[in-house]
A and B are shown apart, each in its own frame.
Chain A
Amino acid sequence: MSLGAKLGEALVCLRAGRVTLPYPAAPRPTPEGFRGRPIFDADRCIGCAGCANNCPAREILVVDLCQEVRILQYLGRRCTYCGRCAEVCPEQAITMSRDFETASPRISDLRQRLEIFMGACQRCGRCFPERSPLESLKLKGYRFDDIESERWVYRSAAFLDGHPLVEDVPIDLD
């Protein structure tokens, strides 16, 4: 038994005082720049899918529901909050919030779904964002399936039904 060493160790403990924080009884603020749950802003998103292309966890999916509606889904299942999506977004439509208390028995609580109205080029049929959703609605697409009657066919809708990527993954823990 080395008394000096023991006294020294006791001193280390005594000097420390009480350090335990009252969390969760009192909230614990996170510092500026904290990478919490990403928040998607539908008003700013232009549907470029840069976030989906750069997500290391492949948790952002972009599907065209039809010519004029693009769906962006953030699933939040295995998101690592790395913040790459927010970093590459050209419109700052994604912000890393300070929200970290995201525990939930239902995984769909974390999901975010954006419906982005896209204008389609009358010539090439490719989508581009319109200035406002109202304007987008007025436009008509080019890729008619039934040209004679100029009937709009919602091509992608059939594909989407029951698609495992689009439907929420049923992970319910309760």
Chain B
Amino acid sequence: MGPREILNGLRAAHGEGIQRADIPSDTRLYLFVDRGALPSICRTVFRDLDARYVISIGADDRPYSGSFMVAHDFAFDRDHVLCSILADVPAENPTVPSITPDVPAASWAEREIRDLVGIEPEGHRYLKRLVLPDGWPEGVHPLRKDFAWDTVPEDYDEDRPFRFDDPPEGCTVVPFGPFHPTLDEPAHFRLYVEGEMVRGCEYRGFMAHRGIEKLAESVLGYNDIPFMAERICGICGCVHSVAYCQAVESAVGIKPPPRAELIRTVMLEIERLHSHLLWVGLACHIVGFDTLFMQSFRIREPLMWIAERICGNRKTYGLCLVGGVRHDITPEIADELRGVLGTLTSEWRDVVKAVSRDRNIQSRTEGIGVADPALVKEMGIIGPVARAAGVAMDVRKDHPYAAYDRVHFRVITASGCDVWSRVLVRMEEVFESVGIIQQCLDHLEPGPLQSPLDDMLPVGRIGLSSVEAPRGESHHFLITGENNRPRRWRVRAPTYQNLQGVPSMIRDQRLADMTIALGSIDPCFSCTDRLETVEIATGKLQMWSPEEIATLASPAPGVSTQEVHCR
């Protein structure tokens, strides 16, 4: 089913609501719809066509079209189509019907739109602030175009304490974070415990805001942003930089030269390798097995050195520009890289052999942090967490980018749905990544590294790009703009969706297992928090009754179970 067939199907069901559609290629579909038709179209796309929810975007389009804009992005993984459903929202009445009752995974994104752009999602059952802190004045929305990037509202009360929700009866609150040995970045969980069992939690994140999206829309230029995008995340920086460049390229129709695509693929896989080795190490560290933590990091180190050799730095590669790459892989470096990969493969094989039979690790991780396929669907969970639940989704296969259409690899899945399965998936994926890099090195043909960019980039085009980061899909949405910079750039890091599944993963588990259950999604809070102006956000996790969990697993249409504000 291509984008045209999807469009025809939707036309038949919602003819009135769809104003126009744009199919720039076989893999993209942009639907412009009435805002009133959003929920029903999204329900059809999400339930009947079984698309995966990706993210919702709000944009202040008033200086250009006179209205606000809301977009809901979905991915048709089997059909290899990325779809954006866009609706205009009049400036004088910025409200939009919420899709969260139909698509529970959209809960955070809609609250974020409300905070940052000031578009009210009507029908959303839990409209507590997500991104903005409690002391931020009402009616001030930082992502609006009339809000300067360096403004701090006069009546912003930085010291106002958070409003926390009351714990349910019979439960005690155990604070977890913002500083905790197993959290490398700040996030605050208030765990409701009954005895030793976690019954629910309230989450407050968004403490590490750096205003990167606002900066990109008001200060930086197209070719400055890759270097800022790289700093969205300390681990998957190259992912964000590639995803941004691909979003621009997809919007304006630039094709990077083949050699550049292969080099991007090599660096992305080097990044995945080092991230997976790091994660296995950290997971062992969390369950108290520091020996393997040390060994993982030892095996990982030569990878960092070879990255430094290729691009001048062990982590922030500074690799991408719009339309190409900056660093070349010379034959000497390619040989060195092959050597490093050879050593890594044999050393990692020993580790995998030992660990996969280790009863201690297994008993700490088996049956812990369960995310079943139903939860994966409802919360839009992605990456190794989804693959460990038997859902064979991998953006590299489903929406091939860079050079992934030219290499062969397997999508590793497991069926346990628990942390142990995630360990197995990640350990196996290391070998696939090694294979991908070796194939890319074989394919490298001499050629240019950069496509010529002579003209100004056209204005007002939409670009979507998904990149499989080590921890799941990174999705970038972009609208090109004037003054050599995008009008709107929205980054959806994988943890944004995965974190919304954590409450149900830790529910009814022992407190001691909380750390590894959270660690198992490889949470990256600075990624998730990227966005806008100042800091902190409020957020709440609702308690789920067993009935609610049951209805979540088999959602009945129209039932308000999707009250699941799984943040």
Contacts and interface: CB of A to CB of B under 8 A. Distances in A.
Contacts of A4: 357
Nearest to B330: A33
Contacts of B308: 30-31, 34
B160 interface: no
Contact of B316 (A5, A9, A80): A80
A83 B318 contact: yes
Given A56-B220, A81-B313, A9 B318 contact: no
Contacts of A84: 223, 227, 318
Interface in A1-51: 1-2, 4-6, 8-9, 11-13, 15-16, 19, 30-35
Nearest to B225: A56
Contacts of A34: 308, 312-313
Given A1-B360, A13-B295, A87-B326, A8 B313 contact: no
B163 interface: no
Nearest to B316: A80
Interface string B274-314: 00000000000000000110110010010001001101110
Interface stretch (B46-54, B187-195, B348-356, B503-511): B348-356
Contacts of B166: none
A54 interface: yes
A80 B241 CA distance: 15
A12 B312 contact: no
A5 B359 CA distance: 8
B355 A5 contact: yes
Contacts of A8: 350, 353-354, 357
Nearest to A88: B223
A31 B224 CA distance: 26
B37 interface: no
A30 B359 CA distance: 42
B291 A82 contact: no
A35 B312 contact: yes
A116 interface: no
A33 to B, nearest CB: 5
A8 B225 CA distance: 46
Interface of B: 219-220, 223-225, 227-228, 231, 291-292, 294-295, 298, 301, 305, 308-309, 311-313, 316, 318, 326, 347, 350-351, 353-360
Given A12-B351, A31-B309, A82-B227, 19 more contacts: A6-B358, A8-B350, A8-B354, A9-B291, A9-B355, A11-B350, A12-B350, A13-B291, A15-B350, A19-B298, A35-B312, A54-B223, A55-B224, A80-B227, A80-B318, A81-B313, A83-B318, A84-B223, A96-B312
Interface of A: 1-2, 4-6, 8-9, 11-13, 15-16, 19, 30-35, 54-58, 80-84, 87, 96
